[in-house]
Structure 1
Amino acid sequence: MNVPAPETHEPAYGGQQPYGLPMGVYGPGAIGEVIRYILALIRRNRWLIAAVIGLAVIAAVALTMLDTPRYTASATVQINDQSEQVLGEELDAQTEVNKASDVERFLNTQIEILRSRALAQRVARRLDLIGNERFYAAMGLPLPGQDASEAARREQVIGLLQTNMEAVLPRNSRIVTISFSSTDPALSAQIANTFADEFIQANLQRRFDSSAYARSFIGEQLEEARVRLETSEREVNAYARNAGLIRMREMTPNGENADAVSSSVTTSSLMQINEAANHAKADRIAAEGRWRAEQSTPLFASAAVLSNPTVQDLMTRRAELDAELKKNRERYLDDHPSVLQGKAQLATVNQQLNQVAANVRDSIRAQYTAALAAEQRLTSQVEQLQGATLAEQDRAVRYNTLAREADTNRSLYDGLLQRFRELNAAAGIATSNLAIIDRADAPLAPSSPSLPKNLAIALVLGVVVAAAVVFMRDQLDDAIRIPEDVEEKVQLPLLGIIPNTGDISPAEAMADPKSAVAEAYGSLRGALLYSTRQGLPRLMLVTSAQPTEGKSTTAFAIATGFARMGRTVLLIDADMRRPSVHGRIGHDNRKGLSSLLVSQDPADSALVATTIPNFYALPSGPIPPSPTELLTSPRMPALLDEFLGRFDVVICDSPPVLGLADAPALSALADGVVFVIEAERGRRGALKTALKRLRAVNAVLLGAVLTKFDPNKSGNRYSEYYGYSYYRYEADDESKS
């Protein structure tokens, strides 16, 4: 058979990402992919989700119907920061400080008091609830037996009161709502009102007890502070008299006594003379700097000399005489009277100029000498006063300690005296910062069970449980269902997605060039063109993990597609166990690959030219007893080399990988392997086992093809997302036109 020589095709670009895939899988749009994945998960498990939520709703309705109605009565109490003040500006100022710094903590403390065991005990004692049959009935409990102790009954009642009482303080509000729930509406109102009353009474009792205790305690502390103050004042005066110290104790701006550094004549003199010495030192340093600079500068280069007005006038006069002398010398001889007179005048001016400049420099030196003398004099005085001051400070150490102790005792005494006066003024005034706003009335309608509330809770719980079940089911599900599963679960690049044809056979679907299947295989061919750095592999093997996953159809579609592109293509049916290529081309299977492998017949003797230009097929031939032995014989590589010399592309339809040795043996000879996975059927464990067998022989895995993919089972608009809505759009457009 005459077969055209293979053409040489240089790849336009190597290593390119397979096209025909959604960008969100490999690049931007990851959030959109996650959303689509979740929607697909919901769609696949919609009946399970509906069942879980439905059971939750039914359970909520049943519980609502069977639950005993409970009634909640509420009273409201206003909580102010402090009670009304009657003691004047001092306490008002203190109240403002409390409002600014401790309001939230104060309000939270009041709420905790409402929920406290002590308040519940006061309510139980006032209403005589211990052993009260009506109370136990309202709580849905039987009366305790005769063998129950009084303490056990009391603790049970207190626990019931605390459990069924609720205190709520809204944010940015001072009105707390006190609610109590039971099956008896009148009793609920009575207990809620008693909680409010006892809350106020307990607050007043705490204030009264606290005030009485405070008056007694502060009175004792005040007497002790007075004795300490008198003792410390006498000690200060006695020590000052014995040490010969006369000091005026100063006051700080905030009214407190100053520290140990109080005024004395010696200290004040030392500070004043020391400050004068510092100024003298600064003046000396400045004068010395000017004099040193003057010494290192030529006389008439000194800035001080040149800036002197007399020097400037003399220099101007010298310039004028010098100019006049030059004119006279041009006109007269040197012994001419005019010339002699000019020389004499010029000499006089120069002498005056030198004298004035020297005087300026001498004045700078005199300033330095005077500054140095002043500094030395003041420094000597400072040294003399330092000795006197140090001696005085030694004597003042004990004085300062005693003075600080007296000041502390005086401050403590004044504070205690002020507080004692306030407490005496407030004695007997029983005011409260709490007030009842609304008293509780017996509720007319039950507060629970609430069908809307229970349904809402059931819906939330149902959704949460359903989500957990679906998530766990999805995590345990190892099936390849959506395109993203290919890369995620088997770590293979996705070359193409072939949609499910439904009741239509793949051959009929591919017969329409604008069908979704035909275009999907076209996208697969495009991905294969750039599947390696060298471009399209010339010898490709198409296989799958299990039978009937669509590998033969995929191999046939790839071969016919490249043939229509103008390349000479040979499709080899290497599946000698379930051959199918001869049926697709309408030819018998009496001669084929098995015939060539067991004989030395020419390779083209078994080739079949199909009706498609450039497309040739090699059927499997008669099924041999041991296909593996034939496929692994030395004759197989030789045949493939011969075919590669005649065709641009050679495609082998291989048997499945699992359970057979044929596919791994053939994959070692191929330039690349296309791995076919059937959607909803391929399992991660089986696929990884198959891929492990292929990788064991160093097969070059080009990627995976997901076949029989049904977008309607896989979630939110997968068909449009993967490009298949174009055909519906075109059909709709043609029908409208």
Structure 2
Amino acid sequence: MNQFQPAADAREGWDMAANNPHDINDVGGDQQQLPLLTQYLRMLIRRRWLIIGAMAVALVLGLLATLLTTKQYTATSQIEIQREADRVTKLDSVQRETSTNDLEFYQTQYGLLKARSLAERVARDLKLATDAQFIETYKLQAKPGVVVPPEVRERQLGDILLGSISVAPVRSSSLVAISYTSPNPVLSARISNAWGKNFIQANLERRFDSAAYARNFLEDRLATLRQKMEESERALVTYAGNQQIVNLPATTTTGAGQSQTTSEHSIVADDLTALNNELGQATADRIKAQSRLGGGGADSPEAIGSPSIAGLRQKRAEAAAEYAKTLVQFEPGYPAAQALNQQIKQLDAAIAREEGRVGGSIAATYREASAREAALKSRVEGLKSNLLDLRRRSIQYNIYQRDVDTNRELYDGLLQRYKEIGIAGGVGNNNISIVDPADVPQGPSKPNLFNNLALALLLGFAGGVALAFAREQMDETITDPADVKEKIGLPLLGSIPNVGEIEPIVSMADRKSPLVEAYLSFQTSLEFTTPHGAPRSLALTSTRPAEGKSSSAYALAVTLARAKRRVVLIDCDMRSPSVHYMVGSNNEMGVSNYLTGHDRVEDLLHGSSEDGLSVITAGPQPPNAAELLTGDRLDQLIAALLKSYDHVVVDSPPVMGLADAPLIASKVEATIFVVESHGIRRSLVHVALDRLRAANGRLAGVLLTKFDAKRAHYGYGYDYGYGYGERDQAA
């Protein structure tokens, strides 16, 4: 069998572990990810001094700013803006009226309260351009020889006022607070009061200007309509005269509490109506006369109703009665009887004459009614022709008449509106009033020490948190165990606490020290990296020097030896050896001697204070250590040692800048990568790991050294775990 077979068997065991579901890359498992809020909270606790420092600086700056800031005084007046003004008259004004809940109206008023025109108006009203108090307060003294135009000066004053005025509506009301802030309390009260007063005046002027504009507009329109109305009336009269059209004017009648107006109508139509009515009456009279004529004689109503005929008939009846009585006694020849008979004949003749006269009268009445009816029919037919001709000629007349009526209606409507606007504008309705005038403030409103300090603390805290997050984002170091798996991609095998100024050798001598506890935990993790337990040959390396690899190699060898295992520690860092210092031996014979041809391994071994621990120092420093590691001599040394020892622990040089560590990593069963907590950037760690992987180095995991739990992200509390029991005994 080959003397190097044990090393080959160890590597074969590594390959078996690589195919095992619980392989070396799963050692330690994934660190449990804490909630994001908890991570942020612990980050803030870790960076608390940075945040406290930022808050202290902000507090000092806030205090200085408060003490150095000029005191400001705020005077506040209050006005009420009603949606609708009080109604003195029932006449509508020119302004648009909308709902009382119209927010657009109030927003417009708030905007008008901060208008530049209002600010300049206040400046003019208070004569601030020449006010010594105002000029001194705002340091507006004119420079010698510099003349500022009035409009520019007025605009500057308006900008100053707008920069210090504040308009604050009172919630759920129509009240508005007008506040002015300046270094002078009296000036603040003057300007605040003047602001409300000028706003009311400006509002009234806008209303008056609106009414004046409307009146001017209506005056122009009235003049135009008056001219059009006159022209249309002249055209109507001219056409009526040319066409001989005579119409009666419209009339208005009032009765029983109601009025009735008739439209204009022509004489021909009235004449036709009257004649038509007369014709109807004449026709009725003719029909009546005709009916009387048909029933004429003694039996006619006129004859029966005639008083003279009735009287004659009464006398004849009396004479006939007397004659009949006489015949009873005398003969008809009797003179008295003859006289009565003659009287009766005379009465009959008289009655006949009267009846004939009545019949003649009826006939005359009928002829007269017929003649009158015929005459009226003729006149009606004539008027019909005239009316039809008039209507034909009245078409254009009606057109002129409609123009006249339209122009008259427009003119009357505008004239009425003109009168109403004149009355409404003269009343001067105002919907704005001053509720509380501003008083001279008794104390400054700014600066407020408490508010400023509170704001400074808040800003300082926000700035400190921002700096903490920035530092956290820029911090590429490995700060705690949870970062190893996430940021490096290798399992965590152990975390070695920072022991401060205590030498690791001294701390390892105390078997109850936190350092010993940490390396025991590290050894326990190694037991699960391969199917046969801890790797038989392993190397410890790091990215750069002073990360604790040599101390960790020595401590691991010691813990394995204390577990009753045969362990040999090899110092392969021939450029900067340190193991011989740890064990207190010389460095005359070592690895470099074997690599240059010395075959007696026994001559290289040194004992130590730990039972079962042997040491091979680095030996004399060679000219080029990498050339010695290139050959098979290191393989042969490890194989030879594994025949007599259970574990070979190799202290390897750092990776960066050297070829030694990748060569050593390719010759051992496992490589432990040592990372200094809070000391090395992970970008450099990734570069070093890539070099080891390129050399086929078998990375078992990461050993985190110099770990300070108080500076860690998640506060693992390793100080508590590793020191468990000591405080209890002290208590």
- With normalisation by structure 2, the TM-score equals 0.62
Shift in Å, 1:138: 2.2
The equivalent position to 1:42 in structure 2, one of 40, 48, 64, is 48
Aligned residues with identical type, % of pairs = 37
**Partner-residue secondary structure (3-state), 1:498:** strand
Q: Which amino acid aligns with 1:184?
A: N
Aligned pair 1:186/2:186, yes or no?
A: yes
How far off is 1:675 after superposition? Answer: 1.9
| Contact 1:17 1:530 (C-alpha < 8 Å) held by counterparts | no
1:136 touches 1:143 (CA, 8 Å); kept in 2?
no
Match of 1:72?
74
Deviates more, 1:481-490 or 1:172-181: 481-490
**Could you say if the C-alpha distance between residues 692 and 707 of structure 1 is closer, same or farther in structure 2, counting changes exceeding 3 Å?**
same
- The number of residue pairs the alignment matches comes to 537
Question: Could you tell which deviates more after superposition, 492-501 or 686-695?
Answer: 686-695
Q: Aligned to 2:718, which of 714, 723, 733? A: 723
Point out where structure 1 has 5 or more consecutive residues left out of the alignment. Answer: 228-408
**How far apart, in 2, do the equivalents of 1:486 and 1:627 lie?**
31
User: Match of 1:339?
Assistant: none
Cα deviation digits, residues 626-660 of structure 1 (max 9, x gap): 43332222222233344456555432111222343
Aligned residue number for residue 514 of structure 2:
516
Q: Comparing 9-18 with 516-525, which one deviates more in the overlay? A: 9-18
CA drift of 1:127 comes to: 1.6
Specify whether residues 566 and 130 from structure 1 end up closer, same or farther in structure 2 by C-alpha distance, changes over 3 A only: same
Q: Secondary structure at the match of 1:98?
A: coil
Please state if 1:14 is matched with 2:18. Answer: no
1:132 alignment counterpart = 131
Amino acid across the alignment from 1:40: R
Structure 2 CA distance for partners of 1:53 and 1:153, relative to 1, 3 Å: same
Please give the residue correspondences for 1:688-699 in structure 2 after superposition, counting only pairs within 5 Å. 688-699=686-697
CA distance in 1, matches of 2:492, 2:87: 81
Q: Within the alignment, does 1:599 sit opposite 2:608 as a pair?
A: no
What are the within-5 Å matches in structure 2 for residues 66-105 of structure 1? 66-84=68-86, 98-100=99-101, 102-103=102-103, 105=104
Deviation track 1:131-188 (CA, whole Å, cap 9, x = no partner) reads: 3332211223214656221222111112212112111224444322111122322221
Q: Identify if the C-alpha distance between structure 1 residues 649 and 221 changes in structure 2 by more than 3 Å, giving closer, same or farther.
A: farther
For 1:297, the equivalent position in structure 2 comes to none
Quick check: 1:555 aligned with 2:553? yes
Q: CA deviation digits over 1:587-614, x for unaligned, max 9?
A: 5545443343333635566445666566
Matching residue of 2:161: 161
Letter in structure 1 aligned against 2:553: A
- Partner Cα separation in structure 2 for residue 438 and residue 534 of structure 1: 93
How far the C-alpha of 1:504 sits from its partner, in A, is 2.8
Amino acid at match of 1:99: T
Q: 8 Å contact 2:709–2:719 — kept in the other structure?
A: no
CA distance in 2, matches of 1:29, 1:66: 45
Conserved in 2, the CA contact under 8 Å of 1:56 and 1:459? yes
Question: Is this contact kept in 2: 1:111–1:167, CA < 8 A?
Answer: yes
Residue 537 to residue 86, structure 1, CA distance change in 2 (3 Å): farther
**1:470 Cα offset (Å):** 5.2
Matched residue SS, 1:99: coil
TM-score (norm 1): 0.62
Q: Post-superposition shift, 1:540? A: 2.0
Q: Does 1:200 align with 2:195?
A: no
Matched, 1:637 2:635: yes
Is the contact made by 1:19 and 1:523 (CA closer than 8 Å) also made in structure 2?
Answer: no
Deviations 1:334-376 (A, max 9, x none): xxxxxxxxxxxxxxxxxxxxxxxxxxxxxxxxxxxxxxxxxxx
Relative distance call for 1:606 and 1:58 in structure 2 (3 A) is closer
Deviation at 1:565, TM superposition (A): 5.0
Q: Verify: 1:525 aligned to 2:532, yes or no.
A: no
How many angstroms apart in 1 are the aligned matches of 2:470 and 2:640?
53
State how far apart, in whole Å, the 2-side matches of 1:41 and 1:492 are: 27
d(CA) in 1 for partners of 2:676 and 2:712?
17
* Alignment-derived partner of residue 209 in structure 1: 209
Structural RMSD (CA): 4.5
The 1:608–1:173 alpha-carbon spacing in structure 2 relative to 1, beyond 3 Å, is farther
Residue of structure 1 equivalent to 2:675: 677
- CA spacing shift, 1:63–1:650, aligned 2, 3 Å: same
2:557/2:568 contact within 8 Å kept: yes
1:444 corresponding residue in structure 2 = 442
Q: Which residue of 1 aligns with 2:252?
A: none
Taking the TM superposition and a 5 Å limit, the aligned residue runs for 1:262-301 are none
Letter in 2 for 1:150: P
Q: Flag structure 2 segments of 5+ consecutive residues without an equivalent.
A: 1-5, 229-405
Map 1:303-318; keep pairs closer than 5 Å. Answer: none
The match for 1:29 is 35
Work out the CA distance in 2 between the residues paired with 1:29 and 1:576. 47
For 1:90 and 1:698, the matched residues in 2 are separated by 98
Rounded Cα–Cα distance in structure 1 between residues aligned with 2:667 and 2:618 = 18
Contact 1:570–1:651 (CA<8 Å) still a contact in 2? Answer: yes
State the Cα deviation string for residues 212-270 of structure 1 (Å, max 9, x = none): 54577689999999x9xxxxxxxxxxxxxxxxxxxxxxxxxxxxxxxxxxxxxxxxxxx
Q: Secondary structure at the match of 2:725?
A: helix
Shift of 1:193: 0.3
Amino acid at match of 2:198: E
Letter matched to residue 152 of structure 1: V
C-alpha distance 729-658 of structure 1, shift in aligned 2 (>3 A): closer
In the TM superposition, residue 37 of structure 1 has moved relative to its aligned partner by 2.1
The 8 Å contact of residues 498 and 707 in structure 2, kept in 1 or not, is answered as yes
Whole-Å Cα distance in 2 between the matches of residues 498 and 641 of structure 1?
30
Which residue in 2 is equivalent to 1:120? Answer: 119
Whole-angstrom CA distance in 2 between matches of 1:730 and 1:600 = 49
Aligned mate of 1:498, from 488, 496, 520: 496
Equivalent of 1:576, from 558, 564, 574? 574
Question: What secondary structure is seen at the aligned counterpart in 2 of 1:181?
Answer: strand
